[in-house]
Amino acid sequence: MSSPDPVERDELAFEALQAWMRAGELDTATMQELRTRLTSQLQAPDPQGFARPFAALVLADVARVDRITPYLSDEQRAQLVGAATDYLRGVSDYRGFDEKQGWRHGVAHAADLMLQLSLNPALTRAEHEQILAAIANQVAPPGEHFYHYGEGERLMAPIFYLSRAKSLQCSDWDAWFARLAAAPASSGTQQGRLARKHNLNGLLQPLYINISESKDEAQRNCLKPLLLRALKQASE
């Protein structure tokens, strides 16, 4: 599953596993085995940078199966949330696509896993907060890296759906966006400040568009002014 060959990894292994899971062809024992192995892979050393992002991507479909046809216990689901958020918070390899080796897309693949977890009605408020904290940690990471493989839009998706879940009050979202947009204590380099502005806007702008078009009036009324404020702060 951690092959450096993109055909073996992305086209054969991932596409086959996803097709089987979405067709309901894997029994519960097999799903549990996948969850266990992939969670371990998510936490193991990954010198080439393929194994962990691949594990996160497949775990997104493992989580999707549980969302549609629950098979995890509350404890197992909490363990999955913990492993997933730990992984997202710890991503430091920001490589994306390579013509020869394919994708190492850790942040985006972790965001896909966050999306499937955020859609699961069995998650608790505390788990929602755990997901949001992990996302906030990677929206504008320290340093001078500019996201340019759609990471902001991928991170945006779980935020959008969590804001529809009603587990958090508007005041909670107010505080979350204020922390997200607040200037860091250290001014850093000019390049770092430009990267932060770019990366914040890469999430806030598509989220604003999606919230503006939402048919959920409460979601729209709460988040639109908060997003406008955050966008203004990010541009300063």
Report the 10 Å Cβ neighbour count for 191: 12
Tokens of 201: 């806007």
Q: Which helix (H) or strand (E) holds 1?
A: none
Tokens of 204: 């806030």
Ranges under pLDDT 70 in the chain: 1-2
- What does the pLDDT read at residue 7? 77
Report the 10 Å Cβ neighbour count for 140: 24
- What does the pLDDT read at residue 1? 55
- What does the pLDDT read at residue 2? 63
Please say whether the beta carbons of 151 and 202 come within 8 A: yes
Tokens of 107: 């942040």
